[in-house]
Amino acid sequence: MSALSPAEHIWMDGRLVAWDEAKVHVLTQSLHYGWAVYEGIRAHPTTDGGLAVFRLRDHLARLVRSARVYQMDIPYSADELAAATTELIAAGGGGPRYVRPLVYLGYGSMGVALDLSAVRVTLAAWAWEDQPARSWRLMTSSWRRNHQDTIPPLAKATGAYLNSSLAKLAALRAGYDDALMLTSAGHLSEGSAANVFVVRSGVLHTPPVQDGILPGITRATVLDLARAAGIPTLERPLAHAEAYTADELFVTGTAIGVVPVESLDDRPTALPAPGPVTAALRDAYQDAVTGKNTPSADWLTPCR
Site string for ligand PMP, 240-279 (x = CB under 6 A): ------------xxx-------------------------
What residues between 32 and 51 interact with ligand PMP by CB under 6 A? 40
Residue pair 105/28 in contact by the 8 Å Cβ criterion: yes
Residue 9 or 249: which CB sits closer to ligand PMP? 249
User: Which of these ranges, 192-200, 203-211, 236-244, 257-265, lies near ligand PMP under the rule CB under 6 A?
Assistant: 192-200
Q: Which of 66, 85, 146, 164 binds ligand PMP (CB under 6 A)?
A: 164
User: Which of these ranges, 7-15, 74-82, 108-116, 190-198, lies near ligand PMP under the rule CB under 6 A?
Assistant: 190-198
Q: Is 117 exposed, middle or buried (0-12, 13-18, 19+ CB in 10 A)?
A: exposed
Q: Which of 102, 219, 291, 303 binds ligand PMP (CB under 6 A)?
A: 219
156 is catalytic: yes
Residue 97 or 219: which CB sits closer to ligand PMP? 219
Q: Which of 193, 226, 259, 289 binds ligand PMP (CB under 6 A)?
A: 193
CB of 164 to ligand PMP, least distance (A): 6
Determine the distance from the C-alpha atom of residue 106 to the mean position of all C-alpha atoms in its chain, rounded to a whole number. Answer: 24
Q: Please work out the total of residues on this chain that contact ligand PMP, with binding judged by CB under 6 A.
A: 14
Residue 164 or 278: which CB sits closer to ligand PMP? 164
- Annotated catalytic residue within 23, 156, 168, 292: 156
Task: Please report whether residue 179 would count as binding ligand PMP according to CB under 6 A.
Answer: no
> From residue 101, how far is each of 12, 176, 211, 248, 293 by CA, in Å?
10, 29, 26, 33, 27
Residue 35 or 197: which CB sits closer to ligand PMP? 197
CB of 108 to ligand PMP, least distance (A): 29
Residues annotated as catalytic (active site), given as ranges: 156
Residues within the interface to ligand PMP (CB under 6 A): 40, 164, 190, 193-195, 214, 216-219, 252-254
